Amino acid sequence: MSINKVYASFELADREVRLIVLEIFEGQFNVLRVERVACDGIQNQKIVNETSVVQAIRKASNNANAALGYRIERALLAIPSVNVQHVEQRVHVQVEDGTKYIRLFHIQQGLNKAVQKKISDDVELVNIGRITYEVDGQISTKMPISAPVDEFYMNVELLFADKDTIYSFARCIEQANMEILDIYLDAYAIAQESAVAVKSQDRLMIQLDLEADHCVLTLFSHGLLYSSTVLEHGYRWFIEEIKEQYGLSDAICFRLLQNVFNTEVDPALDKIIYIEQRSEQRIEITAHQLTEVVVGRIKEWIHDVNDACEPILQQGPSEFVLTGKGANIGIFNQLTSEFRSNATIYAPQNVGARDASFTCCIGVFYAYNDINKIRHSNKICANVNELGASIDAINHKARNGEEGGFTKKLKSVILSENKVEDE
């Protein structure tokens, strides 16, 4: 009996919990459900209120469970890039006498040997990155299954991060009564989805993950994650002046950021774009007022990024890739020329998740799918019995010509409208 490969991934981002549930079918990623829950319990890559975070995780998973008709029991988890350390581990694998050919279990043995590496007490291994195989002096990223040799070498990229951060984020998932299937560094996961790691074969790639309270700047070269650092400001800083002046919520501020369409607004053609009536005051914000504050701050932020990356840019051809929730701010498309090298804005193109906020969650699936080609785990994130029952119910309806829930609801709405018109 074949198992439907349904997986879930969580990203505990600044002030927001994100969940994506998808099915991997014949190599295609089909998004089944997306959930986002606002949560002030996560700020600047830190858990500041565990109870609030756990409640947000439960709300996201319960919403997904209700919509899908089966429970999500375990999930993949993205870990913040805090105190990231990169190690390349070279492993010698001996092919036993009598075997003569490289088998999958030889590669599994080499991998198990590589992950034994320890570097310090304050960091913990998060995930395995790129793996290359050296057989008879030839290096390849393809598994050398059935190669007739007595020995071979594996070069394994190991990514470590802050131990306390890993445990605090993992504890939130477990406190929400969910099992963790695996963990992945958020910067690495993003690079899998955006192809930043692949592009870094012939140039230096600078990945910018812009979130509410911070931005993670990660350098990739020759397909490897070399370093990662955290920049001070996130997108909330862009509109901080207006937020504090009028006491606006984070949700309203982000909508305003998305409504900055030009780098300049002629005061003579200025228009009011936001009105709010409160008992004690009336708030009016004009396009010129918003643009003047936001565009100035964004240009200042890009200038800081350029300064931080100057030593990198001097080394050779390079490219910036901006993603994360902050990349949904449309004015960035008109400001890419402010970067001192080529710059692009990235968002996933999966149906149902075409939003730069979900780059990390989608990338986690790619990272898991790659390493599972070696591990061959059959575990999925959904309750197997409930998933099977749900699929059987769908198949039964299809065989009997019954309409699905959405079609049935849509038809009922149309028919009820027609009935009202007839009356």
Give the Cα separation of 103 and 184 in Å (integer): 27
DSSP 7-31: EEEEEEETTEEEEEEEEEETTEEEE
Given this model, what pLDDT does residue 100 score?
Answer: 82
What one-character DSSP code corresponds to residue 2? P
Q: Specify whether the CB–CB gap between 347 and 333 falls below 8 A.
A: no
| pLDDT tens-digit readout, 142-191 | 999 999 999 999 999 999 999 999 999 999 999 999 999 999 999 999 99
Q: How far, in Å, CA of 236 to CA of 38, rounded?
A: 15
Average pLDDT of 278-287? 88
Average of per-residue pLDDT across 300-314: 96
Q: Does domain 230-345 have CATH number 3.30.1490.20?
A: no
DSSP-assigned letter for residue 72: B
The C-alpha atoms of residue 423 and residue 358 are separated, in whole angstroms, by 47
Task: Say if CB 236 and CB 293 are below 8 A apart.
Answer: no
Q: How confident is the model at residue 397 (pLDDT cuts 50, 70, 90)?
A: low
Residue extent(s) of CATH 3.30.1490 domains in the chain: 85-161
d(CA 218, CA 82): 11
Q: Looking at the chain, which residues constitute the CATH 3.30.420.40 domain(s)?
A: 230-345
Give the start-end residues of each E strand in 186-281.
Answer: 204-210, 215-221, 224-231, 272-277
Place of tokens 């053609």: 269
For the residues 283-301, what does the mean pLDDT come to?
A: 93
Per-residue confidence (pLDDT) for residue 243, from 0 to 100: 93
72-117: per-residue pLDDT in tens? 999 999 999 999 999 999 999 999 867 789 999 999 999 999 999 9
Q: How far apart are CA 214 and CA 209, in angstroms?
A: 8
Instruction: Tell me the per-residue pLDDT of 219-270, one tens digit each, with 9 for 90 and over.
Output: 999 999 999 999 989 999 999 999 999 999 999 999 999 989 888 877 777 8
Query: Phi/psi at 382 (nearest 5 deg)?
Result: -90, 155
Residue 154 in contact with residue 111, Cβ under 8 Å? yes
The band of 1, judged by pLDDT with boundaries at 50, 70 and 90, is very low
Q: Are 322 and 345 in contact (CB under 8 A)?
A: yes
Average pLDDT, the chain: 91
85-161: CATH topology is Dna Ligase; domain 1 (3.30.1490)
Alpha-carbon distances of 26 from 4, 23, 91, rounded to whole Å? 11, 10, 32
- Residue 196, pLDDT > 80, answer yes
Question: What is the layout of strands, in order, in the sheet containing 151-162?
Answer: 85-94, 151-162, 123-135, 138-140
Instruction: Residue 215: count other Cβ atoms within 10 Å of its Cβ.
Output: 24
Residue 397 parent element (H or E): helix 384-399
For 91, the 3-state DSSP assignment is strand
DSSP string covering 306-350: HHHHHHHHTTS-EEEEEESGGGG-GGGGGTGGGSSSEEEE----S
